[in-house]
Chain A
Amino acid sequence: ETGVTQSPTHLIKTRGQQVTLRCSSQSGHNTVSWYQQALGQGPQFIFQYYREEENGRGNFPPRFSGLQFPNYSSELNVNALELDDSALYLCASSPEGGPSYNEQFFGPGTRLTVL
């Protein structure tokens, strides 16, 4: 069973640029959630995708957008990067339904640095 994978591992961008982060969900999971974790803080929910549709969004501006593909992999896109976007971006997948819906399996994250 393959776990959640994310790419790239590290990324450096400059202010105003755009970035795309990728996530492959665990086999059999159709739900993907994205989180932003600033240094020294807990992860903050960005949004979730379920069967290719957005299924909930946290308090993030529209320049944070996402996609989920038919194979349930997902992308997080951030436009007009700001210095405060520097963080660890975590992807988590989960199976459908019931309390196990919240047993989210996290990838190792992508460390984004905005200069």
Chain B
Amino acid sequence: DAKTTQPTSMDCAEGRAANLPCNHSTISGNEYVYWYRQIHSQGPQYIIHGLKNNETNEMASLIITEDRKSSTLILPHATLRDTAVYYCIVIKAAGNKLTFGGGTRVLVKP
């Protein structure tokens, strides 16, 4: 599975959009981009995934560049409860393991 690169940490103001970048320049055509987050003392939580089209659900939006070498997770209106470590993962559709990197530690401030 392709390797991902994310910033170590970022701060965000409550009520503002949080834009979390992820670089996956070695992604192959059959690999999906998945995002998970882990709130302190909890197990990771699935957020969203995509192949090449932009995706949106009740939690977030995922923007994938046309060359698929990078993506951005957007939390449209960050709340204090969105403070967590966010993981970007690239995996084949039939892949059986999630490879977590270091993730981005997001702190939402009032």
| Chain A: CB-nearest residue to B103 | A42
Q: What residues of chain A lie closer than 8 Å to B44, measured between beta carbons?
A: 43, 90, 92, 104, 106
List chain A residues, Cβ under 8 A from B100: 35, 42-44
B96 touches A106 (CB 8 A): no
A25 within 8 A of B: no
Check if B43 sits within 8 Å of A102, measured CB to CB. Answer: no
Interface size class of B (residues with CB under 8 A): 20 to 34
Given A42-B102, A42-B103, A99-B49: A33 and B43 within 8 A (CB)?
no
**How many angstroms from the CA of A107 to the CA of B85 in the assembled complex?**
17
Q: Tell me if A56 and B49 are in contact (CB < 8 A).
A: no
How many residues of chain A get a CB closer than 8 Å to chain B's CBs?
A: 26
Query: Judging by beta carbons under 8 Å apart, are B96 and A33 in contact?
Result: yes
B101–A42 touching, CB < 8 Å = yes
Chain A minimum-CB-distance residue to B101: A42
List residues of chain A with CB within 8 A of the CB of B49.
Answer: 99, 102-103
- Asked, given contacts A103-B46, A103-B49, A104-B46, whether A48 binds B94 with beta carbons under 8 Å apart, the answer is no
Measured between C-beta atoms, what is the minimum distance from A13 to chain B in Å? Answer: 21
Is the beta-carbon distance between A33 and B87 smaller than 8 angstroms? no
Q: Which 5 pairs, one residue from A and one from B, show the smallest C-beta to C-beta distance?
A: A106-B43, A42-B100, A45-B97, A56-B96, A43-B100
A residues engaging B (CB < 8 A)?
4, 33, 35, 41-45, 48, 50, 55-56, 58, 90, 92, 98-99, 101-109
A-B contact pairs, 28 of them (CB 8 A): A33-B96, A35-B98, A35-B100, A42-B87, A42-B100, A42-B102, A48-B96, A58-B97, A90-B44, A92-B43, A92-B44, A92-B98, A99-B32, A99-B93, A101-B94, A102-B32, A102-B34, A102-B95, A103-B46, A104-B46, A106-B42, A106-B43, A106-B44, A106-B45, A107-B43, A108-B41, A108-B43, A109-B42
